[in-house]
Structure 1
Amino acid sequence: MAQVLEFKLPDLGEGLTEGEIVRWLVAVGDVVAVDQPVVEVETAKAMVEVPCPYGGVVTARFGEEGTELPVGAPLLTVAVGASQGPTEADGAAPEPAAAPSPAPVAAPEPVAPTAAGATAGPGEASGNVLVGYGTGAPAARRRRVRPDGWARPSRAAAHSGPAGPVNGTAGAPPQGPVPVVSPLVRRLAREHEVDLRGLTGSGPDGLILRCDVERVIRESAAIAASTTASASAVSAAVPVAVPAPEPVVTASPAPAPVSVAGAVHAGATRVPLRGVRGAVADKLARSRREIPDATCWVDADATELMAARAAMNAAGGAKISLLALLARICTAALARHPELNATVDMAAREVVRLPAVHLGFAAQTDRGLVVPVVRDAQLRSAESLSAEIARLTEAGRAGRLTPADLTGGTFTLNNYGVFGVDGSTPIINHPEAAMLGVGRIVPKPWVHRGELAVRQVVQLSLTFDHRVCDGGTAGGFLRHVADCVEQPAVLLRTL
């Protein structure tokens, strides 16, 4: 006899208390193996695949895609030891389609309560509909259609018969699957109420890309703005007879204050601050509230550093990135000025100097700015740093960074020069004590050995927590970084 076990959203570590369901990887009726990923969940740190510790048949799922669940909430139930019926993989032919009749009822998913406290039927909690595929079609041949038009066909959908009634409404044919390239595109469309079924994608084979959805959003905003402007113009053109007001003896109450944040603007778009974007917003706001930061900067001649990198890469082997050389310079400077590899414990009123350098570096991805962390950077060579930075950058762009990859940093390196800017005053990545910013490296006139020459010049900026050190320490750190950039041979003293 099968035993039904409930799998709950596990503790994802690093103090995370909730996660948003991005994509279900299994459907009700599917057979799962032990440790098979069943759902993609986006946390405040990263997007992760959650494996199920049980093996058996999925009997129910809790929550639709886009739903936020707290840690410990049920995800799905699995019937362990349940016998699996014949499948097409075993050689059984699909059941033939018969005369139209009501489609059989599939195993219902858990029903979410409505806002009024009533219970919604299957598929009604988020506007989903169940699509049948003919008389006698098993539950596994159903598919769930989302309001935004995206549909995930089941494994046997390709062999199903003609469509039957949809939610009891005869003659409503099921919508076909929409070719969307990623769950993030579907999510963007859902947030802005864009119907993907009427959209033609610009990607290969009609794939709908993010730029396609953003184009529709911009067009809709422009139409709404023009409609509002036309209505205002018509109202202004029509004269309205206003009777003369009678004198009022009693005093009028003072008008209630109007919230600027709550004001309605034509064409305004509201983007929820949640997930990675919300976590970044919370951390930056906390940094501004708690850290008394200051910034110093200096221009440096990076011509010799660029030449040294070219010589390293010309010697063969793995390529060394410029960011890896800057990271190696940072670890050398932190060894001389450990005050900046620290954090502040205000409860104990102590500055905590940290023994290891866990170096974070800012990386721009489709999901926003992330700061992966290179562990024990002070023990790594330039080649090792280059390989680890490349691995973390690729994982960030693919959305595979784990919470452990994004937390625990002690110092951050921010290469904003990739955006074509010279300088910046970055916000410290709380609870760290400093951040080094690197601008673009461009040819500029420079006095070199007493003569004016064109050199490769870079601007370096250091934002630091003034509680951990004074300007002399910060200036000494930045000057050592600049010396290593101008004369990479200085690093030989620390090798």
Structure 2
Amino acid sequence: MAQVLEFKLPDLGEGLTEAEIVRWLVQVGDVVAVDQPVVEVETAKAMVEVPCPYGGVVTARFGEEGEELPVGAPLLTVAVGAPADGGPGLPDAGTGTGTSTAAGSGAGTPAPGSGAGKGSAEGSGNVLVGYGTGAPPARRRRVRPTALTSAASGTPGASAGGTSGAATSANGSSPAATAPAAPAARVTAPAPATVGTAPGEGPVPVISPLVRRLARENGLDLRELHGSGPDGLILRADVEYALRAAAGRAQAPQPATAPAAHPAPQPSAAAARPSSAPAGGVRVPLKGVRGAVADKLSRSRREIPDATCWVDADATELMRARTAMNAAGGPKISLLALLARICTAALARYPELNSFVDTEAREVVQLDHVHLGFAAQTERGLVVPVVRDAHARDAESLTAEFARLTEAARDGRLTPAELTGGTFTLNNYGVFGVDGSTPIVNHPEAAMLGVGRIVPKPWVHEGELAVRQVVQLSLTFDHRVCDGGTAGGFLRHVADCVEQPAVLLRTL
């Protein structure tokens, strides 16, 4: 007998509460194996492929490409322990909505390679960023039909799973396996949550903290909602529907008529609320990576009292040193790697800038390791991959790690772990052809070094005017962790290493 298991969007780690469906990798009716990727999603950190912990036949998909789903929302349902050829015992694979197992399902063994069967229902044991499938879920929720056919609604022996194990034929198969299966009953989607009587005392079941914040910011009492999720779980769609309904009542009085069984589609939240923006134009939603960047920059501006200092430096000797390194054979050394090596040396001398502020404890926490972030521009927006333990790497190792992370960023393959945990950021905005900038500190870090383009300029060298390779360096720092003297000393040391790379020999 086939068992229908519901696979929900797992917790992707790092406090992520939602993800956008980028591309479905399977169709309804496809046979999937355990841990086979079924959907590609984009979170506020990166794009990831989500594997399904069950093996069997896909009976339903929830959500369209481009739609955002909260963590815990259903992704798809899989019929496990059923024949893979869509024979008797399989749910209707062409409905596109949730389906249940048909009455009198077959008892044959799964096809080879389908991944169905007992082991598939128990999970694979693999882990996806904080989401484990090592043990069977404590409670499996089977999608049940709203109505059953007369053949399946009689005595328990006529139910979908009521075929007795003793009633087998001579060849060992169940009699139900040779009889045509009853049509699978469709499951209708739950109606949107409506404002009703407040539930009893106790915690309100909410799918994510994001939903609680959305309700709190709009003055909505969650106890007045009836959730449309499993066991009355309040989803984000429930809160948004209630907010749209409240906005509609505020604009025009509702007629005193009985509510319709299926409410008409409501306008979007943006359309329901008055806007001071001029008519026309193009609206670009702040979501995914771009939305995460916007939130983090806004938080940095709100919380960090930053200041910026800058200096021009003669990078001629640094460029010559790099040319000599690459001419000696072996892997090529990138300029970014040399600048990173200079940064780690300067942070060893000025550890105040490799820290963060614990606002609750009112303490500055200085760190004994350097996880160096660097800004990388991609088609999906600005991301900051992190090189772990940059202080313990040489120029060759830094070059290789920068190249690997940059390629992963452009392909959207960075994991949340590779995008978090930085302690200091290096921003080489010179690749965009600009000389200087006042960058925003990457919260919760304490400082960011900006590097402009290196261009020939007139420069006084050894008392004479000459054409030298000049670069502008800028340091934006959190004024709570140090004063201007410390920041200036750090930046001056960086400039000295750029002008005389031999200074680095002291720290090797």
Bin for the TM-score computed over the shorter chain: 0.5 to 0.7
Distance between the aligned counterparts of 1:3 and 1:354, measured in 2? Answer: 51
What residue is the counterpart of 1:26 in the other structure? 26
Distance between the aligned counterparts of 2:71 and 2:459, measured in 1? Answer: 57
CA-atom RMSD, angstroms?
1.9
For 1:165-204, what aligned pairs fall within 5 Å after superposition?
A: none
1:82 aligns with 2:82: yes
The SS at the match of 2:296 is helix
Unaligned runs of 5+ in 2: 99-272
1:311 aligns with 2:343: no
How far did 1:442 drift?
0.2
How far did 1:35 drift?
1.1
Q: Provide closer, same or farther for how the CA distance between residues 287 and 34 of structure 1 changes in structure 2, counting only shifts above 3 A.
A: same
Distance between the aligned counterparts of 2:39 and 2:283, measured in 1? Answer: 27
1:9 aligns with 2:9: yes
1:262 aligns with 2:279: no
How far did 1:385 drift?
0.5
Distance between the aligned counterparts of 1:260 and 1:36, measured in 2? Answer: 45
What residue is the counterpart of 2:159 in the other structure? none
How far did 1:54 drift?
1.2
Give TM-score scaled by structure 2 length.
0.64
1:489 aligns with 2:476: no
Q: Provide closer, same or farther for how the CA distance between residues 260 and 325 of structure 1 changes in structure 2, counting only shifts above 3 A.
A: farther
CA deviation profile, 1:266-304 (whole Å, cap 9, x unmatched): 4x1000011111110111011111100000000000001
Q: Provide closer, same or farther for how the CA distance between residues 64 and 86 of structure 1 changes in structure 2, counting only shifts above 3 A.
A: closer
| Amino acid across the alignment from 1:453 | A
What residue is the counterpart of 2:49 in the other structure? 49
The SS at the match of 1:444 is strand
| Amino acid across the alignment from 2:402 | I
Distance between the aligned counterparts of 2:279 and 2:438, measured in 1? Answer: 32
The SS at the match of 2:498 is helix
How far did 1:317 drift?
1.3
Q: Percent identity?
A: 86
Unaligned runs of 5+ in 1: 88-104, 112-258
| Amino acid across the alignment from 2:4 | V
| Amino acid across the alignment from 1:262 | S
What residue is the counterpart of 1:272 in the other structure? 285
What residue is the counterpart of 2:478 in the other structure? 465
The SS at the match of 1:270 is coil
For 1:134-173, what aligned pairs fall within 5 Å after superposition?
A: none
The SS at the match of 1:386 is helix
> Which of 451, 470, 477 pairs up with 2:464?
451
For 1:214-253, what aligned pairs fall within 5 Å after superposition?
A: none
What residue is the counterpart of 1:198 in the other structure? none
Q: Provide closer, same or farther for how the CA distance between residues 281 and 261 of structure 1 changes in structure 2, counting only shifts above 3 A.
A: farther
1:401 aligns with 2:414: yes
What residue is the counterpart of 2:367 in the other structure? 354
How far did 1:56 drift?
1.2
Distance between the aligned counterparts of 1:86 and 1:407, measured in 2? Answer: 44
**Paired residues of 2:289 and 2:381 also in contact (CA < 8 A):** yes
What residue is the counterpart of 1:374 in the other structure? 387
The SS at the match of 2:277 is coil
What residue is the counterpart of 1:96 in the other structure? none
> Which of 294, 298, 302 pairs up with 1:281?
294
Distance between the aligned counterparts of 1:262 and 1:43, measured in 2? Answer: 30
How far did 1:319 drift?
1.0
**Paired residues of 2:428 and 2:452 also in contact (CA < 8 A):** yes
The SS at the match of 2:492 is helix
Distance between the aligned counterparts of 1:461 and 1:404, measured in 2? Answer: 28
Distance between the aligned counterparts of 2:433 and 2:67, measured in 1? Answer: 38
- Structure 1's consecutive aligned runs of 4 or more residues displaced over 3 angstroms after TM superposition are none
Give TM-score scaled by structure 1 length.
0.65
What residue is the counterpart of 2:59 in the other structure? 59
The SS at the match of 1:357 is coil
The SS at the match of 1:476 is helix
What residue is the counterpart of 2:342 in the other structure? 329
CA deviation profile, 1:38-84 (whole Å, cap 9, x unmatched): 10011011111111111111111111111211111111111122212
What residue is the counterpart of 1:108 in the other structure? 95
The SS at the match of 1:427 is coil
Distance between the aligned counterparts of 1:19 and 1:260, measured in 2? Answer: 28
> Which of 372, 382, 387 pairs up with 2:400?
387
What residue is the counterpart of 2:142 in the other structure? none
CA deviation profile, 1:314-347 (whole Å, cap 9, x unmatched): 1111111101110110000000000000000111
CA deviation profile, 1:398-446 (whole Å, cap 9, x unmatched): 1111111111111000000001100000000011000000000000011
Distance between the aligned counterparts of 1:81 and 1:378, measured in 2? Answer: 53
> Which of 303, 323, 338 pairs up with 1:290?
303
How far did 1:106 drift?
4.9
Q: Provide closer, same or farther for how the CA distance between residues 10 and 319 of structure 1 changes in structure 2, counting only shifts above 3 A.
A: same
**Paired residues of 2:60 and 2:93 also in contact (CA < 8 A):** no
Distance between the aligned counterparts of 1:42 and 1:66, measured in 2? Answer: 10
| Amino acid across the alignment from 1:264 | P
The SS at the match of 1:392 is helix
What residue is the counterpart of 2:246 in the other structure? none
How far did 1:262 drift?
2.6
